[in-house]
Structure 1
């Protein structure tokens, strides 16, 4: 499914602008023209007469955007036709996130997408499709694509293309809206880091983990401090860190006695001829007590299946691209 692009069409009403628009659009008419009159094709328009704002608030897990829920009749263009959802509840972004748009070849590309998280009432976009009879089971598979470097989503069942094995399913953390799982132990970078991490957090029985489309690996603050103090990493700029020591590393997150996620070094680390680098960020603030957020490198080695009905997530190791 294509991302749902959203256009910020700010009205001249200051009250409306403050509630539902990017704050950079609410200064003056000249500012609105300069900042907000971006014309994306087939975008959603806030000026719809049937839009019904709901008194329900939401915020992104990374705290980079906030908004409210709304109801609307939605027409979604899909590969095999058009999907119409009557009176559909969706998240209306009111404050633009830091990564709302990127400039590419002098054109602004929107990054708004339909959310795959669960809502507070237990429903979700995938379950809405299932209840409407559009898919046979409330499962979404994230699969390899025939286009190198891209993924595809398979609604309504397991995707087995280019996978070496069947999916290993693990339960989701109860009471959370995100796809969050418990990790029994983790070996990240070298053994000493893992041992020190377990010592620092030996009172924590469960190490919670999430997954992201970002290229950034989110780690506990103490782990990053250790890597810096031991001169394994040095900050280059922003979230990019360069390696001062190139030693054998291991990246493993154990979930059950029978299953663990094992990533190759080249999946986590950008291994170049003249230097190694990695994108790392710490989880602060961290109200959900998450210990890890794996980067998008996970999808290059594993296919994922999000089972909304059974509240679990499945992992299956992928074949190499040359084998598909």
Structure 2
């Protein structure tokens, strides 16, 4: 990352309030971040360069979720490779929707055990790898009695949360983009049985500097609708402030950034984890009043928690493959989603 990128931080955070953006041009055609190309709002992400690791920031992660099938069998999966002040870490999980089972892995490593390239996407850890150009990425992960080995091919538009790819986050900032329509194929091996799968995945990439201490909870959703629209749903509660909005990109690349009704208002069907004691909702309503959108999001398997813990922070992370029904832009809509929940869902008002 360059010094010039830092100088435009305030402008980028202000631009996240943008209600509607036109099509965003390919990243390689854009000017430098401090001299944005002619478009409604500037963009602060450069692809494919920003697939690579950025050692200048405190936190960064590459988070991949997807829905794949082998014949009549449906699976959800998640692989996260992250770097923070606590060290490198991998999260991985497979949800067997047909069998209603979930298995997961959380593993931390010493810095010398991993390599994060600063020249292109090439992340290598003992538990997971992610490497390759955007149109031919290879993702692998090893779990207890299971393995993920997939090829991901970027198709469709990039989604820039907040419309610009730069958002305020936890008393700091985050650069942020999503590749929400990754054509996916490969193999899931479960209990020694390989399953040839294909489907669609979503890659989230965040990097920046922020502070966890005052976060009460957050909710995030990656929503694939069958009409081709993709929704990045974001709801962060910190110091009593409820930041709730969705970034929507259509197949033509048009972005809409719109307020949502805070997710806690319609969260229901709560489940308490016997492992961590955390309580999570397993059903939500995503309401986007400005877009005539009301979606019911339902966890496909109740128990989809990872046992993640950092000192002084809530224990547990809910990572759920979900089904979606409802209306979007006034029309009946269906789809699939991945939901991530962190923090306290039992506080007053939740």
TM above 0.5, one fold? no
Which one has the bigger strand percentage?
A: 2
Which one has the bigger helix percentage?
A: 1
Give TM-score, length-normalised by structure 2: 0.27
Which protein shows a greater Rg? 1
